[in-house]
Every structure is written in structure tokens, then in C-alpha cells.
């Protein structure tokens, strides 16, 4: 990273600065990534350094912890979506359940 020419926090594009501890930032990036939010949007909304987000997604920083958090949040998202499908009835519930399962399988690679 010595050859890195870009600044870690550009002055434009961030809505605010992030004062959270790094461990909490990792958790938030994992949760947003599990919900399929773009890295630039995560950086903009939370003020987290885009270089940290890129390093997490590339597996260069805390890869084991980040992957386990992403798995956890994807499972939690699946349970939320299945719970929402249970509130519906008939064909709509079936279709929503199938969509949730299909998306979960495609993102986890099962």
C-alpha cells in the first residue's frame, strides 16, 4: 500500500465522518454488504473509509471475521424475508418465499 496515490478519505462524497471503532465499522460493512448495498453507498451513508470497505470485500483485512459476519447477516435477512412471507397468504406468500430462498442460494453459492 506504499504505492497508493489516492487519499483514503476524499473530501467530497462523504456525508459525514465516521467516529465508530473499527470493529463496529467491520460489522456495519458486513451487514450492508449482506443486504447488497453498493460499497460507495456504504461509504457515503456511514462515512466509512472506502479503502477499508474495499479491503474487507477483497478479503485483505479480517477476512475470516468478515465472511462469518456476512454469513450471519445473510441468514438473518433470509429469516426476515421468510417471516414477511408468512404474513401473506396463498400464492403471494409462496412466491415471496421462493424468491427469498433463490436469492439466498445465489448469494451464498449453495
Q: What pLDDT, in 10s, does the model give residues 30-61?
A: 999 988 888 888 888 888 888 889 899 888 88
pTM over 0.85: no
Strands (E), 38-102: none
Instruction: Calculate helix-pair angle for 22-34, 63-86, nearest 10 degrees.
Output: 50
The model's pLDDT over 60-103, given as tens digits with 9 standing for 90+, comes to: 888 899 999 998 998 898 888 888 887 878 888 888 888 888 88
Average pLDDT score over residue span 8-31: 75
Taking 60 as the threshold, does the pLDDT of residue 29 lie above it?
Answer: yes
DSSP conformation class of 82: H
109: pLDDT strictly greater than 90: no
pLDDT for 24? 92
pLDDT category at 110 given cuts 50, 70, 90 is very low
Q: How confident is the model at residue 1 (pLDDT cuts 50, 70, 90)?
A: very low
* Nearest by Cα to 40 from 54, 27, 26: 54
Cβ burial, residue 10 (10 Å; 0-12/13-18/19+): exposed
Amino acid at each position: 500500500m506504499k504505492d497508493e496515490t489516492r487519499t483514503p478519505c476524499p473530501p467530497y462524497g462523504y456525508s459525514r465522518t465516521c467516529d465508530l471503532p473499527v470493529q463496529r465499522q467491520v460489522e456495519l460493512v458486513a451487514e450492508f454488504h449482506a443486504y447488497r448495498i453498493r460499497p460507495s453507498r456504504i461509504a457515503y451513508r456511514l462515512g466509512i473509509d472506502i479503502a477499508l470497505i474495499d479491503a474487507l470485500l477483497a478479503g485483505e483485512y479480517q477476512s475470516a471475521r468478515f465472511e462469518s459476519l456476512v454469513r450471519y447477516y445473510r441468514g438473518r435477512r433470509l429469516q426476515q424475508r421468510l417471516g414477511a412471507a408468512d404474513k401473506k397468504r396463498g400464492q403471494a406468500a409462496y412466491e415471496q418465499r421462493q424468491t427469498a430462498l433463490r436469492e439466498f442460494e445465489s448469494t451464498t453459492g449453495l
